[in-house]
Amino acid sequence: MGILDHAFLKSLWVFHLATGSCNNCDIEILDCFTPRHDIERFGMQLTGSIKHADVLLVTGAVNRQCIPRLKRIYEQMPNPRLVVAIGECALSRGVFVHSYNCPLPLDHVIPVDVYIPGCPPRPEAIIAGLIKLIEQKKNPKDQPQA
């Protein structure tokens, strides 16, 4: 692992994107940053601009209006970039699977590195997922390929 990777994994900055969610997943993400869970322990910080972000946290069932914007935001992200799908909606569209406005699951639109299931996942689960992501990037051989 080079020095760049090392520095990269030490302080992941996350950008949070809601693409037609019910808000609960987004709140649980914010909850991770508040005193009880405090994900900043692991060097993660919420950033205001996608151009500063290392990780894109996507929630929601990716509706038609969001698909082009989601793609554009993903393209604006600097490399190396990671994408985390949070919540049942982002994984498989959850209860909205039959909706006329949610044509595709998230991983058909952009590549996804980690899936965190739950409706909404608990903040502990989100933290565990992000830590797994870091671990996997550190030792790519130890982990089963996702």
Q: What is the Rg, in whole angstroms, of the alpha carbon atoms belonging to the chain? A: 15
The one segment of 16-24, 34-42, 100-108, 122-130 that binds ligand SF4 by CB under 6 A: 16-24
Q: Which does 105 bind (CB under 5 to 8 A by kind): ligand SF4, another protein, none?
A: none
Is residue 24 at the binding interface for ligand SF4, with CB under 6 A as the rule?
A: yes
Alpha carbon distance 146, 136 (integer Å)? 10
Nearest to 85 by CA among 111, 63, 103: 111
CB of 146 to ligand SF4, least distance (A): 20
Q: Which does 100 bind (CB under 5 to 8 A by kind): ligand SF4, another protein, none?
A: another protein
Q: Which residues are at the interface with ligand SF4 (CB under 6 A)?
A: 21-22, 24-25, 59-60, 87-89, 94, 119-120
